[in-house]
A = this chain, B = another copy of it.
């Protein structure tokens, strides 16, 4: 592996190798060697498609014009005293924004005062159509203080359109049609899409700001487009640091060698673990509350990109590894019993944070210690060192049970390291698609359900 600096994330695959967990469950050097040429070829092909602008997600971070525009327009709305940002969107329109919020804003963010939020608005991501939740949000977010960001590439997503109609109706009644443009913006496909976006005529009707998702970027790969970046800008996130994180990881992912490229190494190990070692599940378990929704974002990425019936050469294959979001240390008291003693059918990724932003010393409370001397082992420690010990304890226990584990370390949680992680997972998914020989960029399996639902509504 190439050397990484102190501000870069590290990937340690030693605990998922045959020498650590045995050849039945771990990857042998010759298996990695055997797959290296396929990775090399896939790299060349992906690079070619990137250069031809077939896959747009790789280069989103580079677009100065778009980022400048996002910042400028965010400033315009913030000047108008917006106190709540509400994203109307589902799936790829929501998960990246939620991941960034949880990772980079303080816990209980919406409960903080405006000062504690450094003047930034609260954020609500409406990624469902539960009427109880939606009505509560509408009560909590008065229209005159709220900016709604409706996000749908096609403008045709029933859930999102339903939310939008309710919001437009409320805004018109409360503020009048002329003021809609101060409280609603749309993020959607550009003009010239093969199927024109249905959000565009709505935006034009009311003179709304429109942000564009490039046609060559799919929903689940769109976090570094305006889909994720405009809400991030509204919340005062450091877009430049996010871009720098993408850039740093893009550089590391520029090499074709499976052992030197962290994304390809993870892709190859996941593919081999799934197809050769029976690991039908990929667990992502960050030991950090902040990263829990990155695991949820990854869950869409991995499931929707790789869960495919047909291979690229038209064979029925029914492939795909099931991603599972988990949380350390919490799930040690919920899932680790199964992870250790159940079937050996999972490849786990534990995510470690080198240094948290807060250190909480465990205080020495003399009268408690006198009453319960058994607590003495905690003396002189911090909640931080307990978290680190729990991670190491679980990792070693998993090793005792020959369960393969990849460890990812973020030196700290920063805009850069979170962007590095997310960018790596995107590149990894693209490579994994090639190894599985499926199209990682479509989702044919969700169409039937949509059509049935629509037909049911039309019937009535």
Contacts and interface: CB of A to CB of B under 8 A. Distances in A.
Contact of A452 (B198, B306, B367, B396): B396
A446 to B, nearest CB: 5
Interface string A80-100: 000000000011101100000
Interface in A86-145: 90-92, 94-95, 106-108, 110-112, 127-137, 140
A165 B134 contact: no
A387 B162 CA distance: 11
Given A166-B362, A304-B334, A390 B453 contact: yes
A280 B321 CA distance: 12
A36 interface: no
A137 B359 CA distance: 14
A29 interface: no
A342 B106 contact: no
Given A156-B374, A201-B372, A165 B460 contact: no
Nearest to A172: B365
A37 interface: no
A382 interface: yes
One complex includes copies of this chain to the number of: 2
Contacts of A106: 132, 136
B334 A300 contact: yes
A78 interface: no
B304 A445 contact: no
A281 interface: yes
A387 B280 contact: no
Given A107-B133, A134-B360, A449-B336, A341 B307 contact: yes
A34 interface: no
Interface string A308-347: 1100000000111010100101101111111111111110
A4 interface: no
Given A378-B161, A384-B131, A303 B443 contact: no
A23 interface: no
A448 B398 CA distance: 9
A451 interface: yes
B92 A333 contact: yes
Interface string A418-460: 0000000000000000000000000111101111111011101
B453 A389 contact: yes
Contacts of A198: 372, 374-375
B333 A375 contact: no
A357 interface: yes
Contacts of A334: 91, 95, 299-300, 303-304
Contacts of A460: 380-381, 385
Nearest to A453: B393
A14 interface: no
A358 interface: yes
Contacts of A166: 360, 362-363, 383
A216 interface: no
B368 A168 contact: yes
A212 interface: no
A387 B129 CA distance: 6
Interface in A189-241: 198, 201-202, 204-205, 219
Contacts of A322: 281, 324, 338, 342, 345-346
Nearest to A300: B334
A290 interface: yes
Nearest to A328: B128
Given A133-B289, A202-B368, A378-B457, 15 more contacts: A90-B333, A108-B110, A108-B136, A128-B329, A130-B289, A135-B358, A159-B333, A165-B365, A219-B333, A306-B338, A307-B342, A308-B341, A332-B449, A381-B457, A400-B448
6 contacts: A198-B375, A307-B337, A338-B445, A378-B457, A389-B454, A398-B449
